[in-house]
């Protein structure tokens, strides 16, 4: 029997919801956090270790993989799951956000975006059709529409024109995606921080019809207050029976605030990137392992955490290997951070299912302190 892509909400608490996305490659428990595997690897982590943290799904980057090693090469080698040894679901972005950040190296037209590779300066073109082709070659389970996200600051007119272009590209993405049982295509709502534009974008996407809906164009420097302001209404503009994915978010308190506003999926490089720069995220706040006060501390990073970095190593050791620039430093702190993020998601799923999400949020916020936290 072919398993198709589907989404079930099991419980709601306020605007927060918990449930599961079913795919042929396994279930994604929601709310879900997706670690980012930019270049077919979550940096410093073995795929088995990423799975051991509790991740059900990874994010891969179209832009990076099309340039190196190329989507055609990955397809010839059996697809991205086989290539990187990750058999669970993979969501790929469309490349639109990455090419936007190339600034002067790109040229935007109705057709798509022409750009030069940041690696070797070679010329490339991304269009909705080419993005769909690349994501199919990779074998992505959840494909994202090719969209345009204006660089901030942008005028209202520029945001509106960009949103309208993205909606025309969403139509072309849907047409190019075709009918691929077991695979999903997500539309991306744009419209910046303007309610009317967000509503127009949501209406257009619903008219086209997608398996899921992302909220794009946030977490691009507008700040948490403005982002939450948009999330106070944007998720409710999207179909209640489809997954809602907030792209590129975020810090733990951003994630909790987004879940409270009805978001089901998120991704961010933060836990893995900060793991490589000596920053650890914990229930009680951040630990900066490079600080000298950890040098003689035999206690774990977080006594409550069951990850290998906390079970088997002291703060003194983690401090030492960070200072000595040993590879195990990034490996252990990334593992800890991804473990913490997945525990956070599991805690929220339990709290929502049990109808105690408000109380859980109160404890979450009360536990947290600013600065480099002291061990208990």
Q: Which of 336, 338, 349, 364 is in the footprint of Zn ion by CB under 5 A?
A: 336
Nearer to Zn ion, 137 or 332 (CB): 332
- Is residue 331 near Zn ion by the rule CB under 5 A? no
Sheet of 58-60: strands edge to edge?
32-35, 265-268, 244-246, 212-215, 184-189, 142-144, 90-92, 58-60
Q: Which of 56, 93, 147, 302 is catalytic?
A: 93
Concerning whether 93 is annotated as a catalytic residue, the answer is yes
- Is residue 174 near Zn ion by the rule CB under 5 A? no
Ramachandran quadrant class, 42 (left: phi over 0; alpha: psi -120 to 50; beta: rest):
beta
Q: 279 - beta bridge partners?
A: 288
- Is residue 310 near Zn ion by the rule CB under 5 A? yes
Nearer to Zn ion, 259 or 305 (CB): 305
Euclidean distance between CA atoms 341 and 287, whole angstroms:
15
Residue 319 · residue 309 · CB < 8 Å: no
Nearer to Zn ion, 242 or 315 (CB): 315
Going by DSSP bridges, is the β-strand pair 58-60/90-92 parallel, antiparallel, or unpaired? parallel
Least gap, CB of 376 to Zn ion (angstroms): 13
> Binding string, 88-127, against Zn ion, x = CB under 5 A?
----------------------------------------
Q: Which of 263, 305, 332, 333 is in the footprint of Zn ion by CB under 5 A?
A: 305
Nearer to Zn ion, 312 or 369 (CB): 312
Nearer to Zn ion, 265 or 307 (CB): 307
How distant, in Å, are the alpha carbons of 32, 78, 101, 167, 365 from that of 68? 28, 16, 18, 29, 42
Residue 143 has which token pair?
A: 């494909």
Q: How far is CA 166 from the centre of its chain?
A: 20
Concerning whether 120 is annotated as a catalytic residue, the answer is no
Q: Which of 13, 147, 267, 302 is catalytic?
A: 267
- Is residue 338 near Zn ion by the rule CB under 5 A? no
Least gap, CB of 256 to Zn ion (angstroms): 19
- Is residue 307 near Zn ion by the rule CB under 5 A? yes
Residue 268 · residue 36 · CB < 8 Å: yes
Return residues touching Zn ion (CB under 5 A): 305, 307, 309-310, 336
Catalytic (active-site) positions? 93, 267
């Amino acid at each position: 029997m072919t398993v198709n892509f589907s989404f079930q909400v099991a419980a709601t608490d306020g605007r927060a919801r918990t449930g599961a996305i079913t795919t042929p490659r396994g279930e994604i428990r929601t709310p879900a956090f997706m670690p980012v595997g930019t270049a077919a690897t979550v940096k410093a982590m073995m795929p088995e270790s990423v799975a051991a943290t509790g991740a059900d799904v990874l994010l891969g980057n179209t832009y990076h993989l099309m340039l190196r090693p190329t989507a055609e090469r990955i397809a010839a080698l059996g697809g991205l799951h086989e290539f990187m040894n990750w058999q669970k679901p993979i969501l790929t972005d469309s490349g639109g956000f990455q090419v936007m950040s190339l600034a002067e190296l790109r040229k935007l037209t109705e057709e798509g975006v022409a750009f030069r590779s940041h690696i070797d300066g070679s010329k490339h073109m991304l269009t909705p059709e080419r993005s769909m082709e690349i994501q199919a070659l990779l074998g992505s389970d959840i494909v994202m529409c090719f969209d345009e996200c204006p660089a901030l600051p942008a005028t209202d007119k520029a945001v509106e024109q960009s949103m309208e272009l993205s909606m025309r590209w969403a139509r072309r993405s849907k047409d190019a995606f075709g009918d691929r049982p077991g695979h999903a295509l997500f539309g991306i709502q744009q419209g910046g921080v303007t309610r009317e534009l967000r509503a127009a974008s949501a209406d257009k996407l619903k008219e086209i019809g997608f398996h899921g809906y992302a909220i794009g164009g946030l977490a691009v420097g507008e700040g948490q207050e403005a982002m939450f302001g948009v999330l106070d209404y944007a998720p409710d503009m999207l179909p209640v029976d489809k997954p809602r994915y907030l792209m590129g978010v975020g810090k733990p308190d951003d994630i909790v605030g987004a879940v409270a506003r009805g978001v089901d999926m998120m991704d961010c490089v933060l836990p893995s990137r900060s793991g490589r720069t000596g920053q650890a995220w914990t229930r009680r706040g951040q630990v900066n392992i490079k600080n000298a006060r950890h040098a003689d501390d035999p206690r774990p990073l977080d006594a409550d955490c069951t990850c290998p970095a906390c079970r088997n190593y002291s703060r003194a050791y983690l401090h030492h290997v960070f200072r000595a620039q040993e590879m195990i430093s990034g490996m252990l702190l990334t593992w800890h951070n991804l473990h913490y993020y997945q525990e956070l998601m599991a805690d929220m799923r339990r709290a929502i299912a049990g109808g105690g999400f408000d109380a859980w949020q109160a404890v979450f916020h009360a536990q947290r302190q600013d600065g480099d936290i002291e061990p208990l």
